[in-house]
Structure 1
Amino acid sequence: MGAKEVWLRTDTADVRPYGLTGGRTEPALPLPPGTLLTVRAEAKPFTAAGPESTTVLRLCAQGPCSVAEIVGVLRECGVPVLAVKVLLSDLIDAGILDLVAAVPGAGSDPALLRQVLNGMRNAWPDARSYVSGGGHAAA
């Protein structure tokens, strides 16, 4: 492996998000994590899609998808949160994605929140001792 291949693998991690956003660091629209997005029914053909855009369109085509879910998937590919938000904002501006109106009070059902909390406690039983132990799991 030559010096060129090493450079390509180690020094380009920050270049891809810059190219994805055109250097912009703020989305044109405010996109809180709970914002739901879906592919617009009458969306224009979108041929200039890179792998990130393709992933977003695939996720949103399955039904409404939150900004947090999309960020989570693209973070696994190394795309920073703000770059994802800029991309989503661009797709909304291009008429590809639509914001789904949030239902007032959605997510505030105490029974549902209790179920989520219990599920989290079951999944991570030592989390409480980790937090109370100053950041180290109790032995």
Structure 2
Amino acid sequence: MTNKEIFQEMKAFFKVNSLEDVAEKLGYSRNSARNWRAGQLSQKAIAKFEKAKADKKKDDEAFDELFFGGGIGGILMRYDKDDNTQHNYTLSPELVDFILLYIDYGNKALLDKFTQDLKQIQTLIK
């Protein structure tokens, strides 16, 4: 795959229009994009991009189905593959807003914190 193809894939993945925006999404300065265009795209930057793709895939697979209702919250349907049962969870409007913000902006650190909080809550209610 050529650098130009990688750049196109990166922009599409992050839903941005410029390589400078890609650089920022990967934690680099906007000036890094100039070096990348000059043929200095490092394996480290490619590895960070591959990790971001893998993390997104993992996040996407965490939810089987998610239904949102306009302003009234939503329902999360999970299927337990071990005992083939369905579990429905009602989501508050605030949680739906949070999830939609994550979907729009992809804040991985925010999602990690939220996931950690959910695991603590899950432990308390068992």
Structure with larger Rg: 1
Q: Place the TM-score, normalised by the shorter chain, in its bin.
A: under 0.3
The answer to which structure has the higher strand fraction is: 2
TM-score by length of 2: 0.26
TM-score by length of 1: 0.25
